[in-house]
Amino acid sequence: MDALEAILTRRSVRRYTDEQIDDETMQKLLAAAMSAPSAANEQPWEFIIIRDRTMLDAIPTFSPFASMVKRAPLGILVCADTRNVIVPGFWVQDCSAATQNLLLAARALGLGAVWTGVYPMEGHVAGFAKHCQLPEGVIPLAFVVVGHPAEESPAQHRFSADRVHSNVW
């Protein structure tokens, strides 16, 4: 699948089959995520791969938006290590770009994924920090649930000329 097709057909997938995701595919997802642009090429991202069924099943207790993880084989927590940043504050954009790359790579590889928000919701941040034993200064931004889609969602055309302005509003 080419990049434009992956972008235009990507959908949030919340229903998965029981099929596992192999290590090679996992590495491709992470390589795509780590190829994102970042301010000053800082690359503040860190990733926690969660496959343990007990850990996955506990996540909705502190992150209710991630309830679909109970039926998925994999979750990826996208974090920023803010302890030694050069350009403070840009980690949100950097890790968001990495998360989007991860979602697009999942689509291109025939997987389904959904971005569940963590930051800036304090309870979700604290829940993931405790659950994944994050060190002080490592902040979770997003939790991506990944699996083989149980069904294919049709493409939606979201382009709206009404939202395009030329030179001024």
Question: Domain locations in the chain?
Answer: 13-151
pLDDT digits (tens, 9 = 90+) for 46-85: 999 999 999 999 999 999 999 999 999 999 999 999 999 9
> What would the mean pLDDT of 94-116 be, rounded to a whole number?
98
pLDDT digits (tens, 9 = 90+) for 1-54: 899 999 999 999 999 999 999 999 999 999 999 999 999 999 999 999 999 999
- Sheet containing 45-50: order of strands: 45-50, 74-81, 138-147, 112-117
pLDDT digits (tens, 9 = 90+) for 116-136: 999 999 999 999 999 999 999
Residue 14 makes CB contacts below 8 A (sequence gap 6+) with: 68, 114, 145
DSSP letter (8 states) at residue 75:
E
- Is residue 153 pLDDT above 90, yes or no? no
pTM of the model: 0.96
**CATH number for the segment(s) 13-151:** 3.40.109.10
Residue 103 makes CB contacts below 8 A (sequence gap 6+) with: 10, 113, 115, 144
- Is residue 154 pLDDT above 90, yes or no? no
pLDDT at residue number 155: 84
